[in-house]
Amino acid sequence: EDYVLEVDQLKTIFRTEDGDIPAVSGVSFSLKAGETLGIVGESGSGKSVTSLSIMGLIPKPQGRLSGSIRYKGKEIINLSEGEMREIRGNEISMIFQEPMTSLNPVFTIGNQMVEAVLLHMELSKKEAEQRAIEMLRQVGIPRAEEIMKEYPHQLSGGMRQRVMIAMAMSCNPSILIADEPTTALDVTIQAQILDLMRNLKKDFNTSILLITHDLGVVAEMCDRVIVMYAGKIVEESDVRTLFKNPNHPYTKGLIKSTPRLTSEKQRLYSIPGNVPSFKEMPKGCKFVPRCEYAKDICYKNEPELVYVGEDHKSSCWLNIEQAPSIEEDAS
Ligand code: SF4
Ligand code: MG
């Protein structure tokens, strides 16, 4: 198969005065050409650190990476900052939740767009301006010429995110990493931005790695999904299977607590407790303090990620040992 990105046993550890924090501990997955892969989990699950690791944006020396990250077959883990900048400018782009933090407040949109264009295209200033305007139109920005003269704070959140997407797409990247791209936006604008990303993916055949805590967004956008918990993958499958036949108790809890996927009459569920901090990480299954199906073995040993169906993996002792079958809620 044609993979643009292969992550193998990625570990990202932060050194702190309180000791090492394993934010990502042994994550493996692949991204196919033209595919949208979702990484879902609560905050603290390691999904953002995973994407920052791929982008080479983990601050060193506090952050240490091991394992393998291959882009189109080429190893890119621990490249020099210069080599990584090449890749970020041309091959893998990223958009974040709050575009305000990535746009420079003291330069006009036009300035920043032109600079982004000139980074990877040999054009005159005039041509680059034309190209920038075209790209703003492509992401659905009306009055693009006027927007070029405005500053980031003069735009709405949705417009800023469109500008960010235009910049990210200006190098025609093979991979777009979108970390909670719509979380800060209201529902209508969110739908528009998701539409835009879907269209861009179609037009440019870009692979998308979509980081989100929102399973509703996953349902709308993704082909496959990875569910992360406490720095590890706990479930992986195609999107249909995940919603129709989730395996891991954590995934089941996430689905039950997503409003748009649950009927309105039902009271909204919330998984009890929080992602454990790295200081009080359970010894066995990391989900054990919050799991209603936990049994003895779960406290002692960590389950491995194993196949539970075709292209469907899950890490839960209920699949591995003989165990009482999980009763589905009569909902
Ligand atoms: Fe729950 Fe045990 Fe499965 Fe962990 S391994 S999710 S504690 S049943
Ligand atoms: Mg995050």
What ipTM describes this predicted complex?
Answer: 0.94
- Alpha carbon distance 191, 197 (integer Å): 10
Residue nearest (by alpha carbon) to ligand 1 atom 4: 285
Beta bridge partners of 3: 32
Number of domains in the chain: 2
- Whether 163 is covered by a domain: the verdict is yes
DSSP state of 61: T
| Rounded distance from Cα 249 to ligand 1 centre (Å) | 7
Clarify whether residues 179 and 166 are in a common domain.
no
pTM equals 0.89
Residue 326 located in a structural domain: no
Question: Residue 314: which CATH number?
Answer: 3.40.50.300
Let me know if residue 331 belongs to a domain: no
Claim to verify: residue 115 and residue 76 sit in the same structural domain: no
Element (H, E) at 47: helix 47-54
User: Does residue 80 surpass a pLDDT of 50?
Assistant: yes
Tokens 């719509």 belong to 182
Query: Nearest Cα to 312, choosing from 221, 253, 240, 263?
Result: 240
Last residue of a domain, one of 152, 170, 188: 170
Q: What are the tokens at 234?
A: 């706990």
Question: Which tokens belong to 176?
Answer: 């777009």
Assess if residue 97 is contained within a domain: no
Same domain for 111 and 221, yes or no, is no
Tens of pLDDT, residues 178-220:
998 888 788 888 888 898 889 888 888 899 999 999 999 999 9
- For residue 21, the number of C-alpha atoms closer than 13 Å in the C-beta half-sphere is 18
> In this structure, are 227 and 291 located in the same domain?
yes
Those residues with Cβ within 8 angstroms of residue 44's Cβ, 6 or more apart along the chain or in another chain: 230, 274, 275, 277
Within a domain: 295 = yes
Residue where a domain terminates, one of 121, 144, 170:
170
Residues 19 and 109 in one domain: no
Quick one: pLDDT at residue 2? Answer: 85
- Supply the DSSP symbol for 13: E
* Residue 330 included in any domain: no
**109 close to ligand 1 (CB < 6 Angstrom):** no
**CB neighbours of residue 43 within 10 Å:** 11
Q: Is the CB of 288 under 6 A from ligand 1?
A: yes
The answer on 175 and 164 residing in a single domain is no
Q: Would residue 195 count as lying in a domain? A: yes
Domain that holds residue 292: 3-91+171-320
pLDDT beyond 50 at 324: no
* CA-291 nearest atom, ligand 1: 1
